[in-house]
Chains A and B, each alone.
Chain A
Amino acid sequence: MSSVDIAKNLRQLVTFRLGEMTLGIDVAEVLEINRRTDCHGVPHAPEFVRGLISLRGEMVTLIDARCRLGLPRVEPTEDTRNLILRSQGEMIGLTVDQVTDLAQVDRAQVLPPPVNSHMVDGRFCSGVVQRESDLVVILDLDWLVGETCTEATTS
């Protein structure tokens, strides 16, 4: 197998933690990772929206990944990070508990989401990777940063 083929068969994931879960998104989707905490809350916004930050002059909507996945909210800690993504021409920030590492996984290792996992809601999951130590849930970004939200309630 040539190195090109190997590269083709590998997916690079940014992995991060939300509570007990390890999740991952394609590194190509991530513009930057920062630890901004100066978020400006927006009254009457959907509950999962933490607010706005200004990043290089652009308004970035920060989304609380915990809230989006139905986990309880926590106060930001030293480890809290924002993953800045670009979606449909807008910048969106995803606030996560902790960014763990940059992982390379073989495409063949990515399995379809389990149908009835007690831990994972199939809707936000596009696949899972079983690693030696843990299970990485690959997030379905389209759902995650989608406008409508069936689960999280809007205020």
Chain B
Amino acid sequence: MSYISATVGARQLRGRAEIVSYEDQQLIGEFTTEANEHLAEIESQLLAIEAQGAEIDLDLVNTLFRGVHSIKGAAGFLGLHRINDLSHSLEDVLNQIRNRRIVPNSENVDVMLRAADLLRTMVADVATSHKTLIEPLVEQLSAISEGRTIPQLEVTPSIATKQSQPKTSAEPESRAEFPLAIPLDAQDPPPLEPAGSPEIKPVPSEKPGSKVAEQNIRVPVGVLDELMNLAGELVLSRNQLVRKVATDEDHELQSMVARLDQVTAELQETIMRTRMQPLGTVFQKFTRVVRDLGTKLGKQVELRIEGHDVEVDKTIIEAIADPLTHLIRNAIDHGIETPDRRAAAKKPTSGEIRLVAYHQAGKVRIDLTDDGKGIDPAILRRKGIEKGILTEEEAARLPDREATRLIFHPGFSTAEQLTDVSGRGVGMDVVQSNIQRLGGSVDITSTVGRGTCIQLTLPLTLAIVPALVVEAAGSRYVVPQGNIAELVRVRHEDRARAMPKIHGQEMLRLRGGLLPLVGLGRLMGSTDPPATQGNANRRILATSILVVESGNFRFGLVVDRFLDSEEIVVKSLGRHLRQCEAFSGATVLGNGDVAMILDPAGVALLAGLGRDELPEAELDAAACESAERISADSQTLLLFTCGEGDRFAVPMALVHRVERIRACQIQTVGDREVLSYRSSTLPLVRLEQAIPTAPIMPDRSGLFAIVFQVGGREVGLLVSQVEDIRDVPNVVDTATFRQAGVIGSVVIGSHTTRLIDLYGLVESVSPVWLHKQNEPDTLDGRGAKVLLAEDSDFYRQQVTSYLEKANFQVTAVCDGTQAWQALGEADPPFDILLTDLEMPKLGGLELARRVRQQPALENMPIVALTSLASEDDRAHGVAAGVTDYLVKMDREQLIRTLVRRLPASRPVQRSGVGEFA
């Protein structure tokens, strides 16, 4: 998901020194806000306590005690010693009242009130709080808690201030030295409110110097909800107005509406933002938790955080802080091993905890992964039996994954002995119930020795989710991007091959596997023939398939059309529609229409797709999957735009580098453009020289050159903007764009993207570059017989055509079994076998193994073609007997390699005519 990966890295907390101070600043801000909340009602509470005298309301005293206690704790944590000391003394007195050892009276409550005032002053100006004089009050407070007579300080600074200064005139300096106490009578105590009352609670703002207080205002969430809905309505009305005015002649009116349009959009966005907070506000705290706890337990732990700025509703932020803290403590305490144990297990001594947040299908996912010792399902089974949670028989039957989930059972703790860190009786069951209360869920996966991953899924009624709008049977549906694996278009003539029917279930053949297909229109009750109906009057008849995933389950959703990508606001469905499992919510599209949001899991359920329902064996057989499933048959493309935002791509394997250049660096030499370096020049080509596309704007100052190699020299392709690097399945449409320099088109992120043939491009712009530096023989196949096994029509045609151009005789077959047959029948034998790795029926590696076992073919060079070759792949290939490993798109290298592998004795044949003649 690109929108997350873009944020990863930049925000990761790495440099310690710098981060801590930033973090501390954040923490202090939070401390101030929180302390102010506690202090907001302290006066009225103290006065109520005073009024009750000996008949204390224990709940009230406890509330107050907890508030002061939190201030004390947080201040101590932040090193704010004076605040810590004063609140500590105040806490002591409250504790005595709580234990009924002191009866509150006007005398001691007065001291407490002054302490509270002073606390508030210090909290408001944390920076100078360490200079504040607190000793007189601390002395008085300890006298109270120890039952001594309260020392009547003759003229304490605080009293002096109180008498001499009215409430708002204090300046920061004077406050630093003379603590300010606000006269009680000058301030109306706020009325007592029941807990959770949605009243506006203004942050005390009587301190002119306090910045934090002035920048924040507490607003009930309900008001924000209402604002949000009203803004939505405004947007719809605006849309109607815009449509109406679009046909109007009045330009003044049009510009007014345009302004309204813009302001409305900004208003909506801003209101949306008010409720959202970045998860970073919670995550930040964990860096410290991890460091402190790691030190305490003698473990080295590094925390990596991704998705800092994934924004979620404030209520969610508040609710997940505790469960997450618990999970992180667990991970350090029970997960990560001590450095020596890690060393013994050949792991890096420093453990890693990854906290990753992202939006998924209208929900927020938070994954917490550690690389610790993992959870042994055997131990959990044993404990489960010991604790009487399940019988031995049940335990034996329980799959490992389920056994791991036993950890959520109430009263389960995996720690062999309880530690003071996480064994406080708050177990995973509490975490689970807390998350479930939010309407979320928790899951866990673990591998012994490798680590544990806990996945939290949280709902988010207000989440703004990037989604794709699709059309089926005349209705629009929305699919969250997080659920979309890829978009596939199957041309009409390929349908029979790409979409076979098995047991009446239509399937999609995708990279050697089969995915069940669901026709969305029909599923939603349409009786029209599905799939191609929406395309009937379009130029190409094709089936649009959305490959969606839910958990580990994937299937293809056949829709009529892919429409726009949109950021949608998820609205939950009312109770009458809960039974509609196919939908996770609804949303209002940009044009004001309502559209349902599809929930892939529910859609699969509704369509009767279950992982277990289709017989596994038959599926496998039908899939004709190659014996080795190394990597999916996809290729890495560099995506870029030229001119008017036209989208193009080139195979990453051919790109040497990408350079950012300025237009002024481009020089024109003769009729050629070059980029001059200090000692050399780079010839440049532009797409518009060969392909119908809008030229790059001449006034653009920032451009990119994609540098690749042809004919032994480097050439730069001038583009406007480099967009992305993506793994894209080899579903190339070669029919739509038949142009020199274009291989075909692929649909990437709902955009049609033209795949550029760099050789073809150079060939049509400047054919001389292709040959200039080549010795004549290295690119001549001398009529050698090549057997090409390749299942992709596209690649088979491409490779055949350029091998034939290079004077090879090519026999092309579609899979391994055909290749095997051809090898056996060929007379004279083939000189070289060129094979794809991922093929149905018999894959390239297995074919290579068979060939090597055949004495007659023992020495035949086998060149494997792959889209993406990793070192692992190479090793597999060599083991199977592959001579060379090549990237599919690299034409030159392929031909050169084939020529090099030709038997030296091979006579030169200048024509492409085969030896069968």
Contacts and interface: CB of A to CB of B under 8 A. Distances in A.
Contacts of A8: none
A57 B576 contact: no
A151 interface: no
A78 interface: no
B594 A56 contact: no
Interface in B222-239: 228-233, 236
11 contacts: A40-B595, A40-B596, A42-B583, A42-B596, A43-B525, A44-B524, A44-B579, A46-B576, A52-B573, A57-B229, A91-B574
B577 interface: yes
Nearest to B523: A43
B770 interface: no
Contacts of A77: none
B670 to A, nearest CB: 63
Contacts, number: 79
Contact of B233 (A41, A45, A56, A92): A56
Contact of B525 (A44, A46, A57): A44
Interface string B194-232: 000000000000000000000000000000000011111
B582 interface: yes
Which of A43, A58, A154 has the most B CB atoms < 10 Å from its CB?
A43
Contact of B575 (A42, A52, A55, A88): A88
Contact of B582 (A44, A52, A154): A44
Contacts of A58: 229, 571
Contact of B573 (A41, A43, A59): A59
A147 B575 CA distance: 6
Given A54-B594, A57-B233, A88-B575, A43 B580 contact: yes
A92 B574 contact: yes
Which of B236, B525, B575, B586 has the most A CB atoms < 10 Å from its CB?
B575
Contact of B229 (A49, A56, A90): A56
Size bracket, chain A contacts: 20 to 34
A40 B594 contact: yes
Nearest to B520: A43
Contact of B577 (A45, A55, A91): A45
A61 B577 contact: yes
B236 A54 contact: yes
A91 B54 CA distance: 50
Closest 3 CB pairs of A and B: A57-B232, A57-B229, A40-B594
A99 interface: no
Interface string B564-598: 00000001111111111011001010001111100
A155 to B, nearest CB: 9
Main secondary structure of the interface of B (DSSP, over half): mixed
Size bracket, chain B contacts: 20 to 34
B707 interface: no
Contact of B592 (A42, A46, A54, A61): A54
B606 interface: yes
A137 interface: no
Contacts of A44: 524-525, 579-580, 582, 606
A59 B229 CA distance: 10
A59 B569 CA distance: 12
Given A43-B582, A45-B580, A61-B577, A56 B596 contact: no
A53 interface: yes
B586 A59 contact: yes
A124 B586 CA distance: 29
Nearest to B580: A44
B841 to A, nearest CB: 40
Contacts of A55: 233
B229 A52 contact: no
Contact of B231 (A57, A61, A63, A88): A57
Nearest to B602: A44
A58 B583 CA distance: 17
Contacts of A41: 475
Nearest to B232: A57
Given A57-B229, A57-B233, A45 B571 contact: no
Contacts of B588: 54, 57
Interface in A94-109: none
Nearest to A49: B576
B267 to A, nearest CB: 13
A54 B232 CA distance: 9
Which of A54, A57, A60 has the most B CB atoms < 10 Å from its CB?
A57
A86 to B, nearest CB: 11
Contacts of B228: 57
Contacts of B230: 56-57
A14 to B, nearest CB: 21
B233 A59 contact: no
Which of A41, A44, A46, A49 has the most B CB atoms < 10 Å from its CB?
A44
Contacts of B593: 40
Contacts of A61: 573-574, 576-577
